[in-house]
């Protein structure tokens, strides 16, 4: 089944979904599609249902009675019944669904958590019917889909009744950065990094910006004013919407402050607690909820077990926290230009700088294995204590070989990232020092030192040092 032309990328996702939807079996097949909002889940599964002649039902926030009526109508229409069935409970509705000729499938229920939130028994009902169909050797292709909020996160987690029953479990993620560049049709890699540092790889944001793409580096500031800082564009309010939708909680002020702390670079648990004015133990729950909903990502320090830093997973939220939040009123009144002028330096240091580091780690993760000698086992950042100098060295891109028991871990690469600095001898010296310090505990015999720069490199660098510039960041994935 051909992927529709308006679906960009997602080739593997489409192939898996198409296989799922078009395979007839004598056992029930349950698929679960999840992912953060705006990543294109509905876009994919609706197209799938249309092309296969299956049922697409998109649940909304509603009472159980209303949802049942909407589901009955959708199912009745789909089956061409003159009058819709009547369901008094999900028990009836799901039993009915499982009795329908599977040739009418696949059956796709989108925003499933809206239903199960109001009707908590629903997942167990589905589970029971799946088990019954399995013992009766009856086929059905049922696809459940939902956004990963803290609620959905729990629904699909290990203890959820449906988990072990799914034959397809697919997470729809943002586009990788090089795909995002193609999706946004940005030619210049420098502009592509800047755009990515604001909108990331979330597909919906192109439309939220009215498909407006910066034409050149000179156009970038104006593009920011035309799109994300423009009150009439959906992108303007998106970060706030995301936070509201995700944080269906009381006490949302504390969640906002936690995100603000991380966005500003206070990203250890202690640092966050200090910034928001609470004890570290008092924000544990909030950190968990934010991580469950995919907004915060804990990132372990590769050198120091048990230490991790938090990062904001959605670039737009970082941008909102750093550039927009404190000036919301001024921005709403349409005076974005003053705000942007004042925020530009903060944007470069707090948004682009850290974001570029993450892009370089993504590069290392996806780079061809020759680059570091072998396929990496782990990529991350880490801090190397330098006791004799009473300081420490932060290593932005650490590439480790897969670990083998009984052997010291092999460091494939140590890298430093600078968005706005020409890199040279002094950066390499720091990396050499880090390698020397690490050689006590790691195999550093083949460690490649790497400089990743958005501003270029001094001439005459040791040719053994790997240099990754903006073009390199993209060209492996053209």
Residues 16-45 vs Mg ion: string with x where CB under 5 A? --------------------------x---
- The answer to whether 190 and 470 are in contact (CB under 8 A) is yes
Q: Which of 226, 256, 258, 253 is nearest to 239 (CA)?
A: 256
Please state, as a whole number, how many other Cβ atoms lie within 10 Å of the Cβ of residue 400.
22
| Near ligand ADP by CB under 6 A: residue from 10, 29, 181, 226 | 10
Q: Identify what 201 binds: Mg ion, ligand ADP, none; CB under 5 to 8 Å per kind.
A: none
Instruction: Give the total of residues touching Mg ion (CB under 5 A).
Output: 1
Torsion 57-154-202-343 (CA) sign? positive
Bond before 67 cis per omega within 30 degrees? no
- Min CB(176)–ligand ADP separation in Å: 13
- The answer to whether 472 and 191 are in contact (CB under 8 A) is no
Which residue's C-beta sits nearest to ligand ADP?
Answer: 40
User: Whose Cβ is closer to ligand ADP: residue 234's or residue 353's?
Assistant: 234
Residues 129-148 vs ligand ADP: string with x where CB under 6 A? ------------------x-
| Near ligand ADP by CB under 6 A: residue from 35, 189, 294, 315 | 35
Q: Does 18 bind ligand ADP (CB under 6 A)?
A: no
Which residue's C-beta sits nearest to Mg ion?
Answer: 42
Q: Does 116 bind Mg ion (CB under 5 A)?
A: no
User: Whose Cβ is closer to ligand ADP: residue 1's or residue 24's?
Assistant: 1
| Near ligand ADP by CB under 6 A: residue from 28, 31, 40, 294 | 40
Please state, as a whole number, how many other Cβ atoms lie within 10 Å of the Cβ of residue 178.
22
SS3 assignment for 65-98: HHHHHHHHHHHHHHHCCCCCCCCCCHHHHHHHHH
**3-state SS assignment for residue 360:** helix
User: Whose Cβ is closer to Mg ion: residue 35's or residue 189's?
Assistant: 35
Q: Does 37 bind ligand ADP (CB under 6 A)?
A: yes
Backbone angles phi, psi at 282, to 5 degrees: -80, -10
**Bridge partner list, 423:** 457
- The H or E element that residue 397 is part of is strand 391-400
Q: Identify what 415 binds: ligand ADP, Mg ion, none; CB under 5 to 8 Å per kind.
A: none
Q: Which of 293, 303, 300 is nearest to 435 (CA)?
A: 303
Q: Does 3 bind ligand ADP (CB under 6 A)?
A: no
Q: Does 181 bind ligand ADP (CB under 6 A)?
A: no
- Min CB(153)–Mg ion separation in Å: 16
Q: Which stretch binds ligand ADP (CB under 6 A): 3-11, 77-85, 340-348, 420-428?
A: 3-11
Residues 102-131 vs ligand ADP: string with x where CB under 6 A? ------------------------------
**Bridge partner list, 311:** 297
- The answer to whether 299 and 309 are in contact (CB under 8 A) is yes
- The answer to whether 135 and 25 are in contact (CB under 8 A) is no
- Min CB(147)–Mg ion separation in Å: 6
Residues 202-221 vs ligand ADP: string with x where CB under 6 A? -xx--x--------------
Q: How many CA atoms are closer than 13 Å to the CA of 172, on its beta-carbon side?
A: 28
* Residue 378 CA: distances (Å) to CA of 228, 299, 409, 411: 35, 12, 11, 10
| Near ligand ADP by CB under 6 A: residue from 42, 116, 230, 444 | 42
Backbone angles phi, psi at 128, to 5 degrees: -60, -45
**3-state SS assignment for residue 413:** strand
User: Whose Cβ is closer to ligand ADP: residue 211's or residue 216's?
Assistant: 211
Q: Does 54 bind ligand ADP (CB under 6 A)?
A: no
Q: Which two tokens stand for residue 248?
A: 């269906």
Q: Which stretch binds ligand ADP (CB under 6 A): 4-12, 156-164, 229-237, 395-403?
A: 4-12
Q: Does 149 bind ligand ADP (CB under 6 A)?
A: no
- The answer to whether 412 and 376 are in contact (CB under 8 A) is yes
Residue with tokens 């006490």: 251
Q: Which two tokens stand for residue 34?
A: 């999840």
Q: Does 202 bind Mg ion (CB under 5 A)?
A: no
Q: Identify what 427 binds: ligand ADP, Mg ion, none; CB under 5 to 8 Å per kind.
A: none
Contact positions vs Mg ion (CB under 5 A):
42
Contact positions vs ligand ADP (CB under 6 A):
7-10, 35, 37-43, 147, 203-204, 207
């Amino acid at each position: 089944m051909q992927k529709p032309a308006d679906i960009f990328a997602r080739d593997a996702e489409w192939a898996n979904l198409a296989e799922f939807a078009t395979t007839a079996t004598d056992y029930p097949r349950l698929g679960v599609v999840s992912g953060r909002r705006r990543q294109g889940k509905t876009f994919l599964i609706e197209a799938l249902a249309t092309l296969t002649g299956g049922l697409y039902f998109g649940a909304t926030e509603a009472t159980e009675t209303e949802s049942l009526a909407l589901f009955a109508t959708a199912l009745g229409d789909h089956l061409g019944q003159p009058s819709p069935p009547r369901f008094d409970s999900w028990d009836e509705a799901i039993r009915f669904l499982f009795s329908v000729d599977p040739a009418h499938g696949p059956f796709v229920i989108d925003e499933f958590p809206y239903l199960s939130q109001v009707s908590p028994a629903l997942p167990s009902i589905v589970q029971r019917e799946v088990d019954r169909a399995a013992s009766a050797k009856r086929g059905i292709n049922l696809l459940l889909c939902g956004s990963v909020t803290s609620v959905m996160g729990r629904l699909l987690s290990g203890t959820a009744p449906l988990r072990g029953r799914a034959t397809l479990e697919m997470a729809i993620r943002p586009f990788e950065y090089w795909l995002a560049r193609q999706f946004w049709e940005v030619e210049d890699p420098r502009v592509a990094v800047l755009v990515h540092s604001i909108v990331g790889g979330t597909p919906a944001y192109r439309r939220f910006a009215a498909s407006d793409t910066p034409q050149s580096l000179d156009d970038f500031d104006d593009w920011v004013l035309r799109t994300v800082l423009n009150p009439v564009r959906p992108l303007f309010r998106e970060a706030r919407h995301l936070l509201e939708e995700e944080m269906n909680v009381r006490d949302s002020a504390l969640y906002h402050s936690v995100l603000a702390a991380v966005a500003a670079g206070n990203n250890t648990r202690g640092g966050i607690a200090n910034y928001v004015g609470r004890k570290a133990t008092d924000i544990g729950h909030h950190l968990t909820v934010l991580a469950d909903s995919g907004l915060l990502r804990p990132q372990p320090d590769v050198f120091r077990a048990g230490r991790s830093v938090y990062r904001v997973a959605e670039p737009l939220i970082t941008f909102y926290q750093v550039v927009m939040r404190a000036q919301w009123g001024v921005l709403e009144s349409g005076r974005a230009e003053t705000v942007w002028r004042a925020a530009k330096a903060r944007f470069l240091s707090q948004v682009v700088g850290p974001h570029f580091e993450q892009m370089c780690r993504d590069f290392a993760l996806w780079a061809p294995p020759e680059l570091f000698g072998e396929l990496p086992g782990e990529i991350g950042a880490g801090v190397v204590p330098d006791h004799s100098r009473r300081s420490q060295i932060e290593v932005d891109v650490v590439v480790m070989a897969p670990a083998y028991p009984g052997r010291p871990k092999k460091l494939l690469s140590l890298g430093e990232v600078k968005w706005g600095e020409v890199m040279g001898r002094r950066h390499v010296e720091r990396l050499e020092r880090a390698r020397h310090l690490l050689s006590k505990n790691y195999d550093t015999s083949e460690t490649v030192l790497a400089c990743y720069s958005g501003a270029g490199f001094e001439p005459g660098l040791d040719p053994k040092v790997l240099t990754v510039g903006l073009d390199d960041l993209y060209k492996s994935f053209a």
